[in-house]
Amino acid sequence: MKLTLTKSTSNCIKFLAALLVAMHHYSQNVVAAGSDNIFYFLCSTQGGYLGVAIFFFLSGFGLMESEQKHHLGLLQFLKKRILKVYMPVLIVTVLWMFVVLTIENKYVTSSNTLSSECLHLGWLLDRMYAYIESHPGFAITNYSDKVLWFVKVILQLYIVFFIFSSAWVKNRLFGNIILWIGIIATCFTASSIISIPFFGIGVYASEYKNKNYKVFNASLIPLLISAVIISCYCIVVTPEFKPGIILAGHALFNYIFIGLVIICFTVKCIDIQFPALLGVISYDIYLVHNKILTSFTTLNINLESWLFITLSLAIAFVFYYFRKILTIAFNQLWKKLKVVTLKITANSNC
């Protein structure tokens, strides 16, 4: 028996998790507006916790899958992992600034057309500066979007994973100690302590997925220990933040769900054929969905759930291809700069 969590299946689960997170934020607005729909209530309470837990689990799993195939050096790791996560959020943050300024202009001007003053480059630069100044950590920490805290945390976990993988190659016990010290340290800097440990569970699930029943010992035992510790922490330490028993309930539900996923995909060979592109844009859905929701809320436009999801998917597709074009252009520019540098170096040596 082995864990059969294929890349196609992971893409499917990742895509569904992205939709779950999007519906979580949409449902929070609907419930706050007075809706008593049970579906929206469940999405607004548990949906976000579960979606983020799945993302952390699959991130750890995917990193360990790549690690077992080939260990990357520091520069390679930074380019392939961190820039792959950071550059898209940086791009979407800058684009979002222009959307905000456009919406702001709707209320500044008295007509539907832009005034000559608003079209002036000086006005635009002034508004851009004011926007960045009013959003501390604009493109470094919070990305002017509170739901993107996940990005900061996953970047920290990537660094933890690189240190772990470098030590793990030489001494597995020492590597595992570093992994969990890093995860615990990350928990103290994040707002979702109940989800972060799933990153480590994902690492173990990948490491032991082909080793018969060891996948249960390596994944479910840390899962159970983490569940007990996190639940106790929620009940004892955080009652002033939120009713501790409710937060513990969210945590236990996540642990039960991920545990069942590991068991199901180990007991039975499951391979879901799923379009790779939908899995790839799951990150883009996460980046743009709240911006869409905030934009329409600011304009006092109520979106139906189907329209919100449709817009999120469409804009995620557009943004994915846009950033892909920018990435290709950046790589070509980088190659040209390297060639020019080599020529200058060669001429100076002559």
What does the block give as tokens for 101? 């300024």
User: What local confidence, expressed as pLDDT, does residue 56 receive?
Assistant: 93
Q: Which amino acid is at 163?
A: I
Give percent helix, percent strand, percent coil of the chain, each to the nearest 5.
Answer: 80, 0, 20
Report whether 215 contacts 2 (CB < 8 A).
Answer: yes
Q: Say whether 248 sits in a helix, a strand or coil.
A: helix
What's the mean per-residue pLDDT of the chain?
Answer: 78
pLDDT per residue as tens digits for the range 165-201: 888 878 888 888 888 888 888 887 766 677 888 898 8
Write down the pLDDT at residue 214: 65
CA angle 258, 259, 261 (to 5 degrees): 60
Return the pLDDT at 232: 65
248: Cβ contacts below 8 Å, ≥ 6 apart: 230, 231, 232, 234, 235
The predicted-structure confidence for 70-97, as pLDDT tens digits, reads as follows 887 888 888 777 778 888 888 888 888 7
3-state SS record for 65-108: HHHHHCCCCHHHHHHHHHHHHHHHHHHHHHHHHHHHHHHHHHHH
| Helical H segments across 188-304, by residue range | 198-207, 214-237, 244-267, 276-280, 282-298
pTM: 0.82
More confident residue, 112 or 27: 27
Contact 52, 192 (CB under 8 A): yes
How far, in Å, CA of 240 to CA of 91, rounded? Answer: 37
30-34, 112-116, 150-154, 290-294: least confidently modelled range = 112-116
- Report the range of poorest mean pLDDT among 12-16, 209-213, 283-287: 209-213
- CA gyration radius, the chain: 23
pLDDT of residue 75: 80
Distance CA(244)–CA(192), nearest Å, equals 14
46 Cα distance to chain centroid: 17
At residue 24, does pLDDT exceed 80?
yes
Asked if 196 contacts 186 with a C-beta cutoff of 8 angstroms, the reply is yes
Distances 155 to 63, 89, 151, 173, 190 between C-alpha atoms, Å = 12, 12, 6, 24, 12
Q: Which pLDDT value is given to residue 277?
A: 85
Predicted local confidence at residue 20, as pLDDT: 93
Tokens at 85, concatenated: 């996560």
- pLDDT of 346 reads 65
pLDDT digits (tens, 9 = 90+) for 269-301: 778 888 888 888 999 999 999 888 888 887 788
pLDDT at residue 110, as a whole number? 44
Q: For residues 200 and 183, what is the distance between their CA atoms, to the nearest angstrom? A: 7
Q: Is the pLDDT of residue 318 over 50?
A: yes
Query: Distance between CA 42 and CA 255 in Å, rounded?
Result: 17
Contact status, residue 82 vs residue 155, Cβ threshold 8 Å: yes
When mean pLDDT is compared across 193-197, 313-317, 333-337, the lowest value belongs to 333-337
119-123, 134-138, 207-211, 242-246 — which one is most confidently predicted on average?
Answer: 207-211
Determine the pLDDT at residue 19: 93
Q: What band does 348 get if pLDDT is binned at 50, 70 and 90?
A: low
